[in-house]
Each structure stands twice: as structure tokens, then as C-alpha cells.
Structure 1
Amino acid sequence: MGSLTVTHKLPVIDFTMENLEPGTNSWSKASKEAVCALEEYGCFVALYDKVSSKIHDDVFQALEELFDLPTQKKVQNKSSKPLYGYVGQIPFIPLYESMGIDNANTLEGIQNFTNFMWPNGNNDFSEALLAYSKAAAELEEMVVKMVFESYGVEKYYESHIKSVNYLARVMKYREAQVEEAKLGFVAHTDKSFMSTIHQTNQVNGLEIKGKDGQWFGVELSPSSIVVMAGDAIMAWSNNRIKSPHHKVMMGEEKGARYSIAQFSFMEDSLMVETPKELVDDDHPLLFNSFNHLDYLKFFSKEENRRLE
């Protein structure tokens, strides 16, 4: 007998429901679905109307304008933090180019980036990116609260939220030429606690690796955001939630792909550690505590990236 091929599809969870507040039936339903999806796939698609069609369109226009700047300007996007600045002009991923915005959900963070790129200012860019980044941070905070509640460690939620900052990475994948490989970005896991990914134009390409090793594509609507576990929440949850490998493949669609990924990282001096409540006879401690910034530094070294 022939074997059946499992066709994967990421769960889609509705975060547009009215009264989506802790303690309500809608919260309980969304929470159960979100935690199950994170435990099964490490990610899910959230329908999220706080990223309105206007925000979606404004961010797309803002990213087009940003990536049209001269390369010599874009490469000056640098940071003392590893993996926070410009990435591009790399021979084995020639389609990919990105920049990082530190503290992206704050006015100061957005303005620092904007004023560096446009010394005379660019209010439209600032307003679009700040509106999106704030909405994405609110979505992540909801999901994190659901996870903490589900695992019985909600007492740590407020201190966790106060301990993270957000890096927004804005990305462009140009269309592959006929003779070029279609790889947009290599397979990897995110080094964050959690990530949110929004595709700002309708050029798909994100692929996820299932537990069985199969790769499958993700089709995204303008009102959807992928919520993804990073390596830090895998350690924090004592391996209950695993960070999924994912990559970008540029397919048959014409034109460039633009997206924005927002990553949460612990503040510089703080450690990622498993709460004692998540360690028991059935779940022995699997991870030592670690400094999140040091973890980024480790993977910023080329010789360590093969460990992906």
C-alpha cells in the first residue's frame, strides 16, 4: 500500500473577535488555539484587524521608498548589537536585503531611524512604521499572556513585558532572474523570544518546516500576521514550544516581496531562564539560563551559523 502524504497548513486564529479580553469565552477559545498551534507548529497565522488596510498599504509604500534609497546610504544602518543592522549584498542570498529598527514600537526608536535615513525627516514613513510596530507589539503581548496563563505562570507576565524590547526588521526580496536560484533567505530559526511577520504586498514566499521534516508554504492575506516562536521561548518553556525552521522561496509571482518582521529580545543585562513551575519529573530542565544578547553574539559569528 502507498503511504499517505500529510499536507500541512498553518492554523489560522481569529484575533478580531469582539471583547477579546482575559476571562472571556473568546479569549479562552483563542488562547487554547494559539497555544496548541505553537506547540504543534511553533507558529500560526493571526487574523488581526488592528493592522488596518490603511496601515498595511502605508507600510508597503514606506518600504518601497526606503529600499529605493542608494545602497551606500542603506549600508550605514549599523548597530552595536549583533544582527541589528543592515544585511544584504550577500552572494549566496542575492535576492535579500534588510534593515533593522531598534525600539521600533517607540516614537524615539522610529524617529532615530527615520532621521538617519532622511536627515530632513519623513513623517509619512515614521507614522506608518510606528502604527504597525505598536499594533504588532500588542498582538505579541496578547499571545505571550495566553501562553503564560496556559502554563500557570501568569504572575511573571508583567515583569516579562517590561523586560523586552522590539527590533523591527524591514525586508525586501527582489524578483529572481531566470538563471538565479529562487532562495530568498536560508532556513533558520528566530533567535528572539517571539516574532511577528507581516507581508506588506501579495507576493508569497514564506515556508515552514513541519515536525515531520516537510516544508510547506504559507499564503497570507493583507490582514494577517504570522506569530512565531523564537529560540528564547523554546528555552523558557522547557521545550514545550519549539522554534520552527523557516525560509523564503521566491516563486512564480512577479515583482519584489516586501515584509516586516518584529522580534522581541530581553534587555541587555537580563537572562532567559525556565520558570521553576515548568520543571518537573515529566519535564526535566533542558536548558541553562543564558544572556539573550550573548546568544545573538554567538550566532552572529559565521562559523556558528552552520549550527542552525
Structure 2
Amino acid sequence: MQILQTAAALQAQTETWRREGQRIGLVPTMGALHEGHLQLVRAAAQHCDVVIVSIFVNPTQFNNPDDYRLYPRLPEADAELLGPAGCTALFLPTVEEMYPRPAVLHFDFGSLERVMEGAQRPGHFNGVATVVSKLFHLCRPHRAYFGQKDFQQVAIVRQLVQDLSFDLELIAYPTIREADGLAMSSRNRRLTSEARAVAPVLYQALQQAEQLVHEHAAPDAVRTAATAMLGQQPSVTLEYFEVADAVTLQPVTEWQPGQEVALCLAAQIGGVRLIDNIVAKVA
């Protein structure tokens, strides 16, 4: 496995692979890798000739300086996991390499980013779109792999690919969970033992909400029930629980037969911010 640290080295390598007719897969990450990331790498290795994994904790998508400072960084341990999973090249740039000058371009994704994560974290998706655009230009992948846990991010990147005509296929893989249902996340490493014991309640609230959708409880009743369940845990501070259309991400007020809805939440547990979601289909 190669380790590339500069944009020039990455571009030179990807251009060589392109000339050779190799199909390139890209898995963008912020590191502190877990099984969810490795699933994406293995999937990319199965369908592509070469796999690039990027590890870059992108400062422009953090609106909380402490969250950026505390984000786990484990490049050596991550590198040991990637080779066996099928990674061909690890792109490990510095902030100065990715942003030799401050980025001034501004993305506006309209209603897609005015809800949920976009509403709670102003500027977050502008930072995501900026760094993802840079990676797409540098890597020129045929396929790019993302995890469905970041449901809104996938929708934003899909819109980015469409609007800027990136010549690639966007692949989203289902969320990987621990045995107790907690969605795998790099931030889980920051949970204390007490917070970790409570954290599965997030998935339990989503499961209850999914059941209520199948029972045709009103969307507002679904929100209320999930909020009440999470409110029973003193250590959980709910930021939002939304029942949204799975395509537009706009809040659902009444059911449409056959409609897919995204049940999405964000909460702080012991000072660690976690997100999760389930997609349910209205009968």
C-alpha cells in the first residue's frame, strides 16, 4: 500500500492509473477507522482495480473548535487496517496541503441543507462539499463510497455530483452497527463507559419510530414518541429527531403510500455528539 501525502503525488498516480485503464475507487474518511469504513474499502476493492482511501480531518466542516480539536486521530493504526482490507493507496495530507489558501467558494444546497445537520451546524455542508470536490478532482474516481449513517451528507454529495457533472458513480452502503445497535462512529471512541452504556437508546428510539411508521401513527406522533423515549435518559441531550422525506429531506406532515421516510436524529451523550438514522417505507 502506498502512502501519498501531497496533492501532486496523488494526481500523478491517479493519472497513471487512468492511462492504464484502471478503475479507481475512492473512500473519503476522517480516520479513526472502524468496521463501517472497512466495509466501504472492501466493497471498493471488489468492484475497482485500485482503491484510494483518504484520511483528512477537515477543519472547514467543523463549526465547533473543540469538536475539531478532540476528533480522534490515529493514522498509524488506521494504516495497519487498510492494507488487508484492500486499500491500494492512502492519501494522508496536512491541512496546509489541502488548503494552501483559505477557500472562498461558497456552496448553497438550498432546502437540502437548511434542515437537520445543516440547521444545527452552520457552514458544515459547505466544508463537506469543498473537501469532497477537492478529493474528486485529485483522485478522479470512477466510484466513490460513503456510509449511509451520514444520510444528509450522502444527499448533499449526490447533489454535488449532479450539479458539477462529476463523472463518477456514488455508492452508499448501509450503516454498520455494534451488537447492541449503536451505529459505528469514530466519535464512539470518546464515549465514557457510562455514556457508552446509554448510547444504544438512540437506535432503540429509531426502531420504535420505525414501528410507529409501519402502524401509520401520524408523523408528529412519531416525533413525540421518540423525543419522549430519549427524554427519559438524563445524560442524553436531543438536538433533533426528524421524520423527513428520504429524497427531499423535508419534514413529513402526512404519509403518502409507498413513500420512503428517513428517521434521523442527533444527540449529545456525555458531551459526545452522535447521529443516526433509519429509512422506513410507508405501506
Q: What is the TM-score with the length of structure 2 in the denominator?
A: 0.29
Higher relative contact order (CA 8 A, sep 6+): 1
Greater helix fraction, Structure 1 or Structure 2: 2
